Structure 1
Amino acid sequence: MKAVIPRIMFAAAGSSSGKTTITCAVLQALLEQGVNPAAFKCGPDYIDPMFHTEVIGTKSRNLDLFMLSEEVCRYLLVKNSEQSQIAVLEGVMGYYDGLGIGSTVASSYHLAAVTQTPVILIANCAGSAISIAALIQGFCHFRPDNGIKGVILNNLTPSLYPQYKEMIEKETDIQVVGYFPKLKECALESRHLGLITASEVEDLQQKMKLLAIQARESIDLKQLLRIAGRAAEIDYHEAAIEKISAVKIAVARDKAFCFYYQDSLDLLETLGAELQYFSPLDDQAVPECDGLILGGGYPELYTGQLARNTSMLASIRHVLSNNTPCIAECGGFMYLLERIADKDGKPYPMAGYLEGDAVLTDKLNRFGYITLTAQKDNLLCDKGGKINAHEFHYSDSTANGSNFTAVNSSGSKTWDCIHADENLVAGYPHLHLWGNPEFARSFIRKCGSFRTARMG
């Protein structure tokens, strides 16, 4: 099948180049001009899509070419752009940076090539004059199918922009479509897992409106729309997903548990799930359900509040003791342990369904893409079942589990992880269920069996 999807990707030479700020600024500006955008993030990051979502009012999606196949990425791009006039993709890291030092696999460049998306390169001009032209020229000629159709100059003053634009267009064969100055009042703070989440930013909507004003003043939005409109048709295959069972799944969602891939949740709904969101921070009990999902997030920042909510902790233990099917990822897994120690080393009691402690460290642990292989039959798959996943956490635990084997993307390291049995999969790895939809089907079937038994 073929689809016509006007689309662009914002990419850069490296991280911290302004991709998220400019992406949000353009999304907000387009909305205010009556253009309805869809938003996507290249790679596994959970936080940047939260900012997109706050701007456009509907969920931003992740397109990750390690966790998902090329065919699935094309399908999800088309599916989630159907009601929109333009798809805006935000890149990850440097444009060509992929799985390893010498690889472009799973990079922004790889995704742009797979989806034939025109690219706007964001060039950070701080501390550079004519050298910025050399950098731009290098990016535009590093690969023959680079897809770069324009450049936005970041961290540049209005007075210098005309000179930089003239110089760059003289020295390179790329058009400059605008600039963005440094806006201290719109800066987004960071912490140990990247930017703070959108819900924690004070006056976020006001900041986004200021960003949109700047985008209208200094970025040629009409030219961006023209570039997006010239994108080639996308070839894709419709995925065959049919309802399995009508079940109710409780999903933890608040400031402590907020890392979810929206397409994974949508897949569960298509398979028959009714999702019921609840807050382990504020609610007293898990809603009546046939399955439970505890996603990742920042439980280490809310240890005191989580520990004080003894009613919810008791409810979690009760639900799991009744063999309710449960997926617990990263922060959700930590919540099921006996204790979480905060950044000062002070331990706080958690659900205690699994033996062991989680402790914050000063470095990332087992960071990166992995392939998981089941060592026994479990809630999500039979022994030998595989799915690509990723880990990204500053904590570690005394009980990481041993029912799956993880292999890093280079194949150089292997370790055991995840507690898994017929009712539970709990561990540090993050899964995207479109990476292996059979995992989602297995979960729904198990929830359906549990519902049948529960309803008598």
Structure 2
Amino acid sequence: MSLPSARCPAVLVTAPASGQGKTTVTAALARMHTRQGRRVRVFKYGPDFLDPHWHQLASGAPVHQLDLWMTGEADARARLHAAAQECDLILVEGVMGLFDGAPSAADLAERLGLPVLAVVDASAMAGTFGALAFGLQHYRPGLRWAGVLANRVASSRHAQMLEDGLRESAHWLGALVHVSVDGAAGPQAGKAAGLLPERHLGLVSAQELPDGMARLDAAADALAATPLGQMALADWQARWSVDFAAPDPAADAPEAPLLQGRTVAVARDAAFCFIYDANIDCLRRMGAQVVFFSPLMDAALPPCDALWLPGGYPELHAQQLAANAPLRASLQAHVAAGKPVWAECGGMMALCESITQADGACQPLWGLLPGAATLQRRLAGLGPQQLDWGGQVLRGHTFHYSTLASGAPEVARTARPGEASAPGAGEALYRHGSIHASYFHAWFPSSPAAVAALLGGPVVAEAP
């Protein structure tokens, strides 16, 4: 028996390009409505790890990724349907620009009927704002258009010029001036304060800033003064409700207990924070007991059968990681015992002999994986990737500023979607003893069997 659809107001918050303020506006919306007692669920389109930290702080609820390729359309529909049954409002933050990528945020909006709310950095434009908004709305026929919000506006006069440039005034959702964490407004306020500050891999994580909630409250207060911020929930329901279809019950079959009886230790702290909640859920559905530890603070691994070192910022904490000699000894004992280690990106870097920072400074690290990492000022890898492992295809992505020179054997390479793996292409998968390591970030639910194989579970051949 199929489940009924679930109806809930929802918008896709998008922009013409990256850096326009999508994350700030999405988090501000979530914070504003949460403060008013509404149940808000936020989702992030694309594989981003950092924006969800802000959305979770703003909404007080888990934030999951949606991606028509990496997570799949069925997974996206199931997550949105489940959220629509329990919340008052759904927000989906897009990735890059509305039509960027394949599949793009526009593809998600079109397939699921999500109204599109565009955020445009209007700091250096006036009449062109209307042309840009018109183009976003009409470039692809069939998209539901919610409206446009002008960001980084200099004054009320500037805002009026922007509104006057729109072909349809009903699509004006307001203007946000530059806002600082202390509530100051004006052309330089946001630039000076860096309301949601950035660094080389994206936004600074919300957990790292003690005034993170104050920053969100400042953004929410500014948004509350706009037409968008003053809309009642009933208006959202009347204008932007979406019927989220129920998932196919056959697609929600339980995972095989491939890790039953095994304990998987997961590194989680400021240095290792690139963790999808869905990956943890997947491990548990496979029967694993998941335990967390901090490589920065703990002196030893917790008792475990396998170890996952996710990505993060080991380069920012390299000295403290290297100084934790007891933990390194515990890691060494784990590897010497032949227990599996799966290390992704930053986790792989921490296992290396050293890391050279962008300024040339070299810092020794754990030295459990042959090779040295070097941080660059430019991106070294970016985009969706897939790994054929154990007869299964594991989907994910790559995003890193460092390079690795290692003498460890390469046992596989990732490939872009729809392409075959080739020497020198994609990301290398290194094996050194019981360690498997790569710059590849895996989405575990795409192939639990491949994940189980990497963590010491049974190798399950692909069904014919």
Q: Name stretches of at least 5 consecutive residues in structure 1 with no aligned partner.
A: 99-104, 375-381, 449-456
Structure 2: distance between partners of 1:129 and 1:257: 43
Identify which of 109, 112, 116 aligns with 2:106.
109
Identify which of 28, 31, 35 aligns with 1:32.
35
Identify which of 2, 20, 25 aligns with 2:23.
20
User: Counterpart of 1:97 in 2: which secondary structure?
Assistant: coil
Q: 1:402 to 1:67 in 2, by over 3 A?
A: same
1:434 corresponds in structure 2 to 445
Whether contact under 8 Å (2:126, 2:162) holds in the other structure is no
Structure 2: distance between partners of 1:419 and 1:30: 46
Q: 1:346 to 1:162 in 2, by over 3 A?
A: closer
Structure 1: distance between partners of 2:237 and 2:152: 25
2:365 corresponds in structure 1 to 350
Cα offset for 1:327? Answer: 1.6
Cα offset for 1:278? Answer: 0.8
Q: 1:18 to 1:416 in 2, by over 3 A?
A: closer
Cα offset for 1:30? Answer: 0.4
Q: TM-score, normalised on structure 1?
A: 0.88
- 1:257 matches 2:253: no
Identify which of 383, 393, 398 aligns with 2:405.
398
Structure 2: distance between partners of 1:231 and 1:415: 38
Q: 1:82 to 1:230 in 2, by over 3 A?
A: closer
1:120 corresponds in structure 2 to 117
2:178 corresponds in structure 1 to 182
Q: 1:265 to 1:164 in 2, by over 3 A?
A: farther
User: Counterpart of 2:308 in 1: which secondary structure?
Assistant: strand
Cα offset for 1:174? Answer: 5.3
Structure 1: distance between partners of 2:362 and 2:303: 30
User: Counterpart of 1:150 in 2: which secondary structure?
Assistant: strand
The letter of the residue matching 2:232 is K
2:136 corresponds in structure 1 to 139
Structure 1: distance between partners of 2:20 and 2:301: 41
Structure 2: distance between partners of 1:87 and 1:156: 26
The letter of the residue matching 1:404 is A
Cα offset for 1:445? Answer: 6.9
2:253 corresponds in structure 1 to 240
Q: 1:37 to 1:161 in 2, by over 3 A?
A: farther
Deviation per CA, 1:40-90: give whole Å up to 9, x if none. Answer: 111111111111112222321111223122112212333355432222111
Q: 1:246 to 1:3 in 2, by over 3 A?
A: farther
* Higher mean C-alpha displacement, 436-445 vs 385-394: 436-445
Structure 1: distance between partners of 2:426 and 2:144: 38
Q: 1:82 to 1:358 in 2, by over 3 A?
A: farther
Q: 1:428 to 1:447 in 2, by over 3 A?
A: same
- 1:200 matches 2:208: yes
Cα offset for 1:272? Answer: 2.0
Q: 1:141 to 1:321 in 2, by over 3 A?
A: same
Cα offset for 1:417? Answer: 0.7
For the aligned residues, what is the CA RMSD? 2.6
User: Counterpart of 1:390 in 2: which secondary structure?
Assistant: strand
- 1:220 matches 2:235: no
Q: 1:336 to 1:176 in 2, by over 3 A?
A: same
Structure 2: distance between partners of 1:327 and 1:404: 14
Q: TM-score, normalised on structure 2?
A: 0.86
Q: 1:444 to 1:246 in 2, by over 3 A?
A: farther
Identify which of 231, 247, 254 aligns with 2:242.
231
Identify which of 74, 92, 97 aligns with 2:95.
92
Whether contact under 8 Å (1:252, 1:295) holds in the other structure is yes
Whether contact under 8 Å (1:299, 1:335) holds in the other structure is yes
User: Counterpart of 2:279 in 1: which secondary structure?
Assistant: helix
Identity %: 31
Deviation per CA, 1:389-441: give whole Å up to 9, x if none. Answer: 21111111112752122223585972561124895431110011122233245
User: Counterpart of 2:395 in 1: which secondary structure?
Assistant: strand
Residue correspondence of structure 1 range 74-89 to structure 2 within 5 A: 74-89=77-92
Structure 1: distance between partners of 2:392 and 2:11: 36
Whether contact under 8 Å (2:12, 2:117) holds in the other structure is yes
Q: 1:395 to 1:445 in 2, by over 3 A?
A: closer
1:210 corresponds in structure 2 to 218
Structure 2: distance between partners of 1:59 and 1:404: 34
Q: Name stretches of at least 5 consecutive residues in structure 2 with no aligned partner.
A: 182-192, 460-464
Structure 2: distance between partners of 1:66 and 1:18: 25
Structure 2: distance between partners of 1:40 and 1:70: 14
Whether contact under 8 Å (1:253, 1:278) holds in the other structure is yes
Identify which of 50, 55, 64 aligns with 2:53.
50
Residue correspondence of structure 1 range 275-424 to structure 2 within 5 A: 275-374=290-389, 382=390, 384-399=391-406, 402-409=410-417, 411=419, 414-415=425-426, 417-420=428-431, 423-424=434-435
Whether contact under 8 Å (1:118, 1:227) holds in the other structure is no
